[in-house]
Amino acid sequence: MRLIVQKYGGTSVGNPERIRNVAERLIETQKEGCRVVAVISAMAGVTDNLLKLAGEVSPKPSEREMDALLATGEQAAIALTAMAVNALGGRAISLTGAQAGVLTDRIHTKAKIANISPKQIYELLSDDYIVVVAGFQGQTPEGATTTLGRGGSDLTAIALAGALGADACEIYTDVDGVFTCDPRVVPEALKLDEIAYDELLEMAGAGSKVMQSRAVEFAKKFGVPFEVRSSFNRKAGTVAKEETASMEDVVIRGVSIERKQAKVTLDDVPDMPGAASRIFTAVSAANILVDMIVQSASDRNTTDISFTIHEGDLPRAEELLAPIVKAIGARRLISHGGVAKLSVVGIGMRSHSGVAARLFDCLGQGNINIELISTSEIKIAVVIAEKDADRAAQLTHAAFGLARYGTSTR
Ligand code: ASP
Ligand code: MG
């Protein structure tokens, strides 16, 4: 008998009607002759609400209690889902992360899964139950409740699929899969039939947030293929898996945009050991995430160091860098928000030359200025003005002929 793990995200269980829809799908899958494990997220908005409530009773809640609180969102959702299955004549039982055997480390609010002992899940499956597991949570060796970081139900699903040796892992969400670009920006964007783990990771880092990055990393590390698909229709989704030779035939898989970025430049930084360390130690100590970092070649013993951050972090970054600019003897700090990052991603870049030239040519023709460039083996990213982002994505999507590489879901 096939064993299948199906994960349903917050919007898929966002109201009673949608929970009934999920229950029907679970029963249907079981009737097709599968053993079914469902991983469920908190109903849409619930986790955000709990976070807000915590903030209203305490300026700095302890992380242990935060986890105890946040875990309740998924607990309500699994009980409701199991009730809905039973009300439809099915046979379901809900399990918290701890009951499902999800053991984590002790790092509250962003715990890592250490081990899964799915003994109880196996027993329930052999008694013909649909087992409904709470996503996003586990327990420490001492039995304290932990959570796995925002979006952590994806990780629960992938890790359970790996531990159970499931025949399939399906991640149900409110979109049809992973697209060549955001269809709201590029109407010709198509749903990809398949994507390599590394491409999905790079696209997530580039602003296409279909899956929690840690879950994709886990899937890659343990070789757990999964399919991202919609819970609102029956269409096939996008299969994420280990790359295959034929996947390299496609030059780039997708274009991502990340808006609301800011660019910070330290101009004429003395070219000496320790300068970059001073800058980035200060920024990371303030918990500001730095994305692209570019240092120019040394010119008369100075270099320019630029990086991007989220626009919301800019005032804080400016404040903490002002004294550092003085201390290291840089000339000045130049920074502005209103920029976006556009990335083209694809493992095909390794074997096709001229990808960068084609991207820059397309932006140049469109009269779109590039403020920063950075590359990885399978990605080229540029910083441009945010007002140009949509047009840049449309031009790039067309220049690489991406409308050839997917399946229309409309
Ligand atoms: N409910 C959690 C969150 O909103 C986990 C998840 O949905 O995956 O982040
Ligand atoms: Mg200079």
- How far is C-alpha 78 from the chain's CA centre? 23
Is 73 near ligand 1, meaning CB less than 6 Å away? Answer: yes
Confidence bin at 384 (pLDDT 50/70/90) = very high
Is 29 near ligand 1, meaning CB less than 6 Å away? Answer: no
Strand partners, 37: 5, 131
pLDDT(305) > 90: yes
H helical segments located in 241-377:
275-285, 314-328, 355-365
Measured CA to CA, the distance from residue 200 to residue 325 in angstroms comes to 37
Question: Ligand 2 center to residue 276 CA distance, Å?
Answer: 15
Question: Ligand 1 center to residue 311 CA distance, Å?
Answer: 24
| Tally of CA atoms within 13 A in the half-sphere of 335 that contains its CB | 23
Residue 168's SS3 state is strand
CA distances from 273 to 108, 276, 282, 328, 403 (A): 36, 8, 16, 11, 47
Question: Ligand 1 center to residue 16 CA distance, Å?
Answer: 18
Ligand 1 nearest-atom number relative to CA 212: 8
CA distances from 7 to 195, 252, 270, 285, 403 (A): 19, 28, 52, 35, 29
What pLDDT shows up at residue 209? 78
Measured CA to CA, the distance from residue 61 to residue 161 in angstroms comes to 33
Neighbours of 263 (CB within 10 A): 22
Measured CA to CA, the distance from residue 47 to residue 70 in angstroms comes to 6
Question: Ligand 2 center to residue 299 CA distance, Å?
Answer: 7
What pLDDT shows up at residue 293? 96
Contact 97, 138 (CB under 8 A): yes
Confidence bin at 206 (pLDDT 50/70/90) = confident
Conformation bin of residue 358: beta by default, left when phi > 0, alpha when psi is -120 to 50: alpha
What pLDDT shows up at residue 129? 98
58 CB contacts (<8 Å, ≥6 apart)?
A: none
Task: Supply the DSSP string of 73-90, one letter for each residue.
Answer: HHHHHHHHHHHHHHHTT-
Burial 18-52 (b: 16+ CB within 10 A, else e): bbbbbbebbbebbeeebbbbbbbbbbbebbeebbe
> Tokens 């049809």, residue?
176
Average pLDDT of span 172-199? 94
Whole-model pTM: value is 0.90
Ligand 1 nearest-atom number relative to CA 149: 9
pLDDT(45) > 80: yes
Measured CA to CA, the distance from residue 322 to residue 142 in angstroms comes to 45
Question: Ligand 2 center to residue 380 CA distance, Å?
Answer: 24
pLDDT(309) > 80: yes
pLDDT(117) > 80: yes
Closest CA to 81 of 37, 25, 23: 23
Strand partners, 373: 382
Confidence bin at 84 (pLDDT 50/70/90) = very high
Contact 75, 145 (CB under 8 A): no
146 CB contacts (<8 Å, ≥6 apart)?
A: 67, 104, 105, 106, 107, 108, 109, 111, 137, 138, 139, 140
- The amino acid that residue 26 corresponds to is L
Tokens standing for 346?
């694809």
pLDDT(410) > 70: no
Is 14 near ligand 1, meaning CB less than 6 Å away? Answer: no
Confidence bin at 106 (pLDDT 50/70/90) = very high
The DSSP call for residue 176 is S
What pLDDT shows up at residue 116? 97
Question: Which backbone phi and psi does 4 adopt, to 5 degrees?
Answer: -130, 135
Confidence bin at 244 (pLDDT 50/70/90) = confident
Neighbours of 91 (CB within 10 A): 14
Closest CA to 89 of 43, 37, 134, 30: 30
Closest CA to 378 of 355, 361, 405: 355
Is 136 near ligand 1, meaning CB less than 6 Å away? Answer: yes
Tokens standing for 85?
């299955």
Average pLDDT of span 55-69? 96
Is 97 near ligand 1, meaning CB less than 6 Å away? Answer: no
- Please give the helix or strand (H or E) that residue 300 lies within, else none: none
Measured CA to CA, the distance from residue 245 to residue 347 in angstroms comes to 10
Confidence bin at 111 (pLDDT 50/70/90) = very high
